Structure 1
Amino acid sequence: MSFNAPPVVFPSGKNPATGPHHRPPSIPFHPNPNLPFMSFDIGSIPQSTSFSSPVYSGNISGTGIDFEDELPLLEELGINTSQIWSKTTSILNPFRLNPNPNLHEDADLFGPFIFLMAFGLFQLLAGKLHFGIILGWVTVSSLFLYVVFNMLAGKNGNLDLYRCLSLVGYCMLPIVIFSAVSLFVPQGGLVVFVMGVVFVIWASRVCARLLVELASCGDEHRGLIGYACWLIYMLFSLLVIF
């Protein structure tokens, strides 16, 4: 039984079974002038003579980036270590009658965050897990002090919540020192209560003076502002005592 099949016709006119394979020549590539292409100067790149990574200079031509003029990472993140140290030393001296309020013009939260974490760490060494309580109480205390100060100052009050939070956090330094010293003092005794009163008065005095002088108002209500600060830091000292 036979089948009639149509003949196969190749475009080249030759049968590949009887002749060599011929591939039509390809058309040379011509880029479209309307499409943008990037040109690279390969000759300007120095040849690497070893398997080590290439060394790049500080200035990359074509981009205008000079790594030598770049700011340090901490300053790019808004963390000024020298300013934080100056603020810390201004509060660390309890015998200074007039701490410099100009240091606290630029409010930041990195220094207070360090103090609060140190306070929580000392409490953890005493067997008390208070990290969440400390952060929550600082937020509520700052809001409380912000409302009280602006109510007393009236229309002249220019204290914002961010600066108030920064001041409350920095003035936590005496309470942090108290929590560190209390690790070596018997708990529940008269000594720890007397120490707590001293450190609370220290923190309240510095915080009230900074608030009054930095906000440039509320001097006639210094006692009431100091009492509000005393309530805040007394609350944190109770975490250390009990």
Structure 2
Amino acid sequence: MVNRYLPFFQGVVLNQATPTHHPIPGNGNVAVNFDDEPPLLEELDIDTGLIWRKAVSILHPLRSVDPSLHAEADLSGPALILLSLAFFQLLAGKLHFGIVLGWATAASVFLYFISSMLLSPGRGGRGDLSLYRCASLLGYSIMSMTIFSAVSLFLPRGGGLIFAVGMGFVLWSTRVCSRLLVACSGHGDGHRGIVAYPCFLVFMLFSLLVIF
């Protein structure tokens, strides 16, 4: 029997008894089935497997990085690497999230400007180094700076050891970034020298951020 004194509770019970699949307006009686929806990362076009392979290819300091893995640019991996760098700086007592992201953005614009002049199509390259691709290559190259930020937590401050270790990681990042920029632009290794210098300046700034 319908209780006329409890209309609110009666409506709650009736609503709980209705099915969870609702028809789409304008499509007749077609119900929405959320089980057939693709994963969120797939909808956002984020390939976690490719990001992992890109990161692993940089972890070996003595092995040449494979440029074919970085033919498709993305910013998901670089964003995670930069946040990891800032997180290790936070463990050292330094709040550098905004500085790290700001410096990475400025460095990407700087390398894009330099690459557009030194690795232009008129010099024998393909000229496909866009700002988006430069940001992607720079972000993955900062992987070694992230490792240095983690290692610096266990090194004494103000000594010569941390400067020597930092210089090693700077050379590692410079080697990887210059290799990727030259390879992705279609030039040979003869252009790596002129590209390595601006890369060295960028990673030197990041190393000073970690040291001081």
Q: TM-score, normalization: structure 2?
A: 0.81
Q: d(CA) in 2 for partners of 1:105 and 1:63?
A: 42
Match of 2:181 in 1: 211
RMSD: 2.4
- In the TM superposition, what is the alpha-carbon distance from 1:76 to its structure 2 partner? 0.6
Equivalent residue, structure 2, for 1:92: 59
Q: Report the counterpart of residue 173 of structure 1 in structure 2.
A: 143
Q: Deviations over 1:80-131 (max 9, x none)?
A: 111110111011111213x211211221111111111111111111111211
- Give the unaligned 5+ runs of structure 1: 1-50
Is it true that 1:132 corresponds to 2:98 in the alignment? yes
Q: Distance in 2 between matches of 1:92 and 1:75?
A: 26
Check conservation: 2:119, 2:182, Cα contact below 8 A: no
Contact persistence 1:149–1:218 (CA under 8 A): no
Greater Rg, structure 1 or structure 2?
1
In the alignment, what sits opposite 1:71?
Answer: 38
Structure 1 distance, partners of 2:158, 2:135, is: 31
Distance 1:77 1:161 in 2: 21
Query: Which stretches of structure 1, 4 residues or more, deviate above 6 A after TM superposition?
Result: none
1:53, 1:228 → 2: CA distance? 65
Deviation at 1:219? Answer: 3.7
Deviation of 1:217 after TM superposition, in Å, equals 2.2
Equivalent residue in structure 1 for 2:161, among 179, 186, 191: 191
Give per-residue Cα distances to partners, 1:148-207, cap 9 Å, x unaligned: 111012334220000000110111110000011101111111111111011111111011
Q: Distance in 2 between matches of 1:125 and 1:112?
A: 20
Specify every segment of 5 or more residues in structure 2 that has no aligned partner in the other structure, as ranges: 1-15, 22-26
Q: Which has the higher contact order (CA 8 A, sep 6+)?
A: 2
Higher helix share: 2
Which range moves more in the overlay, 131-140 or 171-180? 131-140
Aligned pair count reads: 192
Look up the match of 2:24: none
Paired AA for residue 215 in structure 1: S
2-structure distance, mates of 1:224, 1:64: 61
Q: Percent sequence identity over matched residues?
A: 54
Aligned counterparts, 1:1-242, within 5 A: 54=19, 62-63=29-30, 67-97=34-64, 99-155=65-121, 156=125, 157-217=127-187, 219-242=189-212
Letter in 1 for 2:138: V
- Asked whether the 8 Å contact 1:175–1:200 carries over to 2, the reply is yes
The SS at the match of 1:225 is helix
Q: What is the CA distance between 1:54 and its match in structure 2?
A: 4.4
TM-score, normalising length: structure 1: 0.72
Kept in 1: contact 2:119–2:185 (CA 8 A): no
